[in-house]
């Protein structure tokens, strides 16, 4: 891929240092670690040795637990907790030798979070942006997107006709994802991890122009 499109940055999604190192050797310049350098003690060494960029995503527990609600327990201010935990991972990375300008933060929408937690962090994304690192979001086809659409349908049809979020098609989930992405752009996010790249690029270009070429 790097040989075909050398001008494009390539990101490898892994929490394993061995995989990251192999990908970097063939052209990857970004490591997207859903554990924020928690699970493999050698990952930090790989990142610092190669001077690649790293995306630190907020999560809890092992990889197999992240998509569940096993660790989705927060106090009365989940946003403050999520921001504090992610800031701690960023500070750890810096203390280990990762340059600050090589760090991107991801709130981990849907990872160890219930729908209300993902919604809360999107509403208050500015709290994460305020830490001073670039922010990426990955809302694509997540459960909270489907539940938001289901609630909208139920409001139109009436409470006696509940809608199963799982019934939405891929295209419908992508459309719902655009709404979350545009909101995140307005909140300060500058990077987006999505399935339907073309549709999101068009929508975010329009939102960006309305915002005057800046988020916030």
Q: Are 136 and 104 in contact (CB under 8 A)?
A: yes
d(CA 82, CA 70): 16
**pLDDT tens, residue by residue, 86-122:** 999 999 999 999 999 999 999 999 999 999 999 999 9
Task: Look at the pTM and tell me if it is higher than 0.85.
Answer: yes
Sign of CA pseudo-dihedral 176, 181, 182, 183:
positive
**pLDDT tens, residue by residue, 38-93:** 999 999 999 999 999 999 999 999 999 999 999 999 999 999 999 999 999 999 99
Domains of the chain: 1-135 (3.20.20.20), 138-216 (no CATH)
d(CA 54, CA 51): 9
């Amino acid at each position: 891929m790097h040989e075909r499109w050398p001008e494009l940055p390539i990101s490898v999604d892994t929490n394993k240092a061995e995989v990251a190192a192999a990908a970097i050797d063939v052209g990857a310049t970004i490591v997207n670690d859903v554990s924020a350098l928690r699970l493999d003690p050698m990952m930090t060494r790989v990142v610092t040795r190669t001077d690649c960029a790293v995306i630190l995503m907020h999560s809890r527990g092992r990889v197999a637990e992240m998509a569940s609600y096993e660790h989705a327990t927060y106090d009365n201010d989940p946003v403050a907790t999520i921001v504090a935990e992610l800031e701690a991972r960023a500070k750890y990375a810096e203390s280990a030798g990762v340059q600050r300008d090589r760090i991107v933060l991801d709130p981990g929408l849907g990872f160890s979070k219930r729908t209300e937690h993902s919604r809360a962090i999107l509403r208050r994304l500015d709290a994460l942006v305020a830490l001073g690192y670039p922010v990426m979001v990955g809302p694509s086809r997540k459960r909270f997107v489907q539940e938001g659409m289901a609630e909208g349908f139920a409001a139109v049809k009436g409470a006696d006709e509940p809608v199963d979020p799982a019934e939405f098609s891929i295209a419908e989930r992508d459309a719902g994802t655009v709404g979350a992405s545009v909101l995140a752009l307005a909140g300060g996010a500058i990077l987006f991890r999505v399935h339907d790249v073309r549709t999101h690029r068009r929508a975010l270009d329009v939102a960006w122009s309305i915002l005057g070429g800046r988020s916030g």
